[in-house]
Amino acid sequence: MVTVFIAYVLFIMIKYGVQKSISESYYALPEKQNFLFVLFTWLFAFPAMILGNSWLMFFAGGGIVFVGANAATRKHPTRAIHLLGAISGMLLGGIAMIIQYHMWYMTAGVLALMPVTYFLDKKHFMWWWETLTIIAISITIAISIF
């Protein structure tokens, strides 16, 4: 799960640079490689749903599954489902860290770093916020397992 995230994000950053959001990396990839975005989201989300051992994390992972299934964000109906999945995935993941894992400080850390990332890099703010959220969720799940 974490390996997939690190590999994908580093691959995109090195090959195509930091995008406006992780979802925008779908369009940075050549058309024949768009499946890599779907693969990335699913290989992160499905393990999170299982390893999270939490009903909130299960639905958070489900939201991210919808992100991958509706990767073409520049099309009208697909964009709405994609955004709903992304927002619910991050929001439910944050709530799970507070309520079910009792690691409120992980969510607080992400929220505290949001304005910092915005002021440091307004153009790529969403990329960094998504990255911080995924890292926090990954650390939380790892701590809960071990």
pLDDT tens digits for 57-72? 999 999 999 999 999 8
Taking the alpha carbons at both ends of the chain, their separation in whole angstroms is 15
- Report whether pLDDT(77) > 90: no
- Report whether pLDDT(76) > 90: no
pLDDT at 74: 85
Residue 91 exposed, middle or buried by CB count within 10 Å (0-12, 13-18, 19+): middle
Mean pLDDT of the 119-146 span:
95
pLDDT > 70 in the chain, percent: 100
Q: Which residues contact 28 (CB under 8 A, 6 or more apart)?
A: 12, 16, 17, 19
Report the predicted TM-score, pTM, of the whole model to 2 decimal places. Answer: 0.91
pLDDT tens digits for 93-132? 999 999 999 999 999 999 999 999 999 999 999 999 999 9
The answer to whether the CB of 127 falls within 8 A of the CB of 18 is yes
